[in-house]
Chain A
Amino acid sequence: MGENKPIKINDISKDTEKLTSVAIEDLMPIPGDFEEKRWDELPEDTKNNYVCILDDVCILPIPRPKTKEEEEELVNKFIDGVRKLFTKENNWTFLTMLETTMNHCAKCNTCSESCHLFEASGENEMYRPTYRTEVFRRIYRKYVKKEPLARWRGGDIDLNWRTVARLGELAYRCNICRRCAQTCPIGADNALVAREIRKIFSQEMGIATPELHEQGSMLQLEFGSSTKMNKLVVRDNIDFIDEDFSEETGYEFHTPWDVEGADILLIHNAGEILAWPENIAAFSIIFQAAGLSWTLSSDLAAYDSINYGVFYDDVQFARTALLHAQAAKKLGVKKIVLGECGHAHKALTVIADRVLPEPLKIPRESCFPLLRDIVMSGKIKFDPERNNFPVTLHDPCNVTRLMGIIKPQREIVNKLCPQFREMHPHGPYNYCCGGGSGYAIMSRNNIPEWRFKITGRKKFQQILDAFSDSRGPTIEKYLCAPCSNCKGQMRDLIERYDLLETEKIAYGGLVELIVNAMVDVKPGFIKWEEDY
Chain B
Amino acid sequence: MSLVVYLITYLAIIVFISAIVKRIVHYLTNPLHVRWEIYPVAHEGKRASYGGGYLEEVDWWQKERKVSVIGELKVMIPEIFLLKAVWENNRSLWFLSYPFHLGLYLTVAFFVLLILGAIGQLSGSPVGSDIPLMNAVGVLTGLAGPLGFALTIIGAFGLIIKRCTDPGLRNYSTVSHFFNLILFLATMAIALIVWLSVDPTFSMARTFVVNLISFNPGPISSPMFLLQVLLMVLTIAYIPLTHMSHFFMKYFLYHDIRWGDEPNINTPKTDEKISVVLNYPVTWSAPHIAGHGKDTWAEVATFNPVANPESGKE
Enumerate chain A interface residues (CB-CB to B < 8 A): 6-9, 77, 80-81, 84, 88-90, 92-97, 99-100, 103-114, 125, 128, 130, 134, 152-155, 178, 181-189, 192, 202-206, 213, 218, 221-224, 230-232, 300, 315-316, 318-319, 322, 335, 349-351, 353-358, 361, 363, 365-366, 368-370, 373, 400-408, 427-429
Q: Does B108 contact A (CB under 8 A)?
A: no
Q: Does B169 contact A (CB under 8 A)?
A: yes
Q: Compute how far the CA of A360 lies from the CA of B83 in the bound complex, rounded to whole angstroms.
A: 43
Interface string of B253-285 (1 = CB under 8 A from A): 110111001011000001101110110111111
Say which one of B24-32, B130-138, B146-154, B195-203 lies at the interface with A: B24-32
Q: Compute how far the CA of A364 lies from the CA of B59 in the bound complex, rounded to whole angstroms.
A: 8
B residues 168-198 near A (Cβ < 8 Å) are 168-169, 171-177, 179
Contacting residues, chain B, for A186 (C-beta < 8 A): 246, 250, 253
Contact between chains at B174 and A155 (CB < 8 Å): yes
Which one of B252, B253, B302 lies within 8 Å of A188 (CB-CB)? B253
Which one of A89, A203, A361 lies within 8 Å of B289 (CB-CB)? A203
Contact between chains at B52 and A357 (CB < 8 Å): no
Contacting residues, chain B, for A95 (C-beta < 8 A): 30-31, 33
> In this complex, what residue of A is CB-closest to B48?
A404
How distant is A196 from chain B, measured CB to nearest CB, in Å? 12
- Among B44, B79, B243, B305, the most chain A Cβ lie within 10 Å of the Cβ of B243
Contact A402 to B38, CB < 8 A, known contacts A349-B55, A365-B58: yes
For chain A, what secondary structure do more than half of its interface residues adopt (helix, strand, loop), or is it mixed?
Answer: helix
Which one of B31, B39, B57, B257 lies within 8 Å of A428 (CB-CB)? B39
Contact between chains at A99 and B30 (CB < 8 Å): yes
Q: Compute how far the CA of A403 lies from the CA of B263 in the bound complex, rounded to whole angstroms.
A: 12
Contact between chains at B39 and A404 (CB < 8 Å): yes
How distant is A177 from chain B, measured CB to nearest CB, in Å? 10
Contacting residues, chain B, for A218 (C-beta < 8 A): 288, 305-306
Contacting residues, chain B, for A365 (C-beta < 8 A): 55, 58-60
Contact between chains at A231 and B174 (CB < 8 Å): no
How distant is A329 from chain B, measured CB to nearest CB, in Å? 13
Contact A108 to B93, CB < 8 A, known contacts A89-B280, A203-B286, A354-B274: yes
Q: Does B312 contact A (CB under 8 A)?
A: yes
With A89-B282, A125-B168, A183-B89 given, name 15 new contacts (CB 8 A).
A90-B280, A97-B36, A100-B253, A110-B90, A111-B89, A112-B168, A181-B38, A205-B286, A351-B35, A354-B273, A357-B271, A357-B274, A405-B52, A406-B39, A406-B56
B residues 12-60 near A (Cβ < 8 Å) are 27, 30-41, 44, 47, 50-60
Contact between chains at A300 and B311 (CB < 8 Å): yes
How distant is A164 from chain B, measured CB to nearest CB, in Å? 15
Contact between chains at B30 and A404 (CB < 8 Å): no
Contact between chains at A429 and B90 (CB < 8 Å): no
Say which one of B119-127, B217-225, B293-301 lies at the interface with A: B293-301
Contacting residues, chain A, for B35 (C-beta < 8 A): 350-351, 353-354
Contact A322 to B306, CB < 8 A, known contacts A187-B257, A232-B314, A405-B52: no
Contacting residues, chain B, for A429 (C-beta < 8 A): 51
How distant is B46 from chain A, measured CB to nearest CB, in Å? 11
Contact between chains at B304 and A318 (CB < 8 Å): no
Contact between chains at B169 and A93 (CB < 8 Å): no
Contact between chains at A407 and B168 (CB < 8 Å): no
Contact A315 to B177, CB < 8 A, known contacts A112-B168, A369-B57: no
**26 pairs, A vs B, C-beta closer than 8 Å:** A84-B284, A88-B280, A89-B282, A96-B30, A97-B36, A100-B257, A104-B246, A108-B97, A109-B169, A110-B85, A110-B86, A111-B89, A181-B38, A185-B89, A206-B288, A222-B306, A222-B307, A354-B33, A356-B264, A361-B271, A363-B59, A369-B58, A404-B51, A405-B52, A407-B47, A428-B51
Contact between chains at A221 and B51 (CB < 8 Å): no
How distant is B302 from chain A, measured CB to nearest CB, in Å? 6
Which one of A231, A318, A369 lies within 8 Å of B312 (CB-CB)? A231
Contacting residues, chain B, for A153 (C-beta < 8 A): 174-176, 179
Contact between chains at B44 and A404 (CB < 8 Å): yes
Contact between chains at A401 and B38 (CB < 8 Å): yes
How distant is B131 from chain A, measured CB to nearest CB, in Å? 41
Contact between chains at B51 and A103 (CB < 8 Å): no
Contact between chains at A92 and B56 (CB < 8 Å): no
Q: Does B61 contact A (CB under 8 A)?
A: yes
How distant is A84 from chain B, measured CB to nearest CB, in Å? 6
Q: Does B109 contact A (CB under 8 A)?
A: no
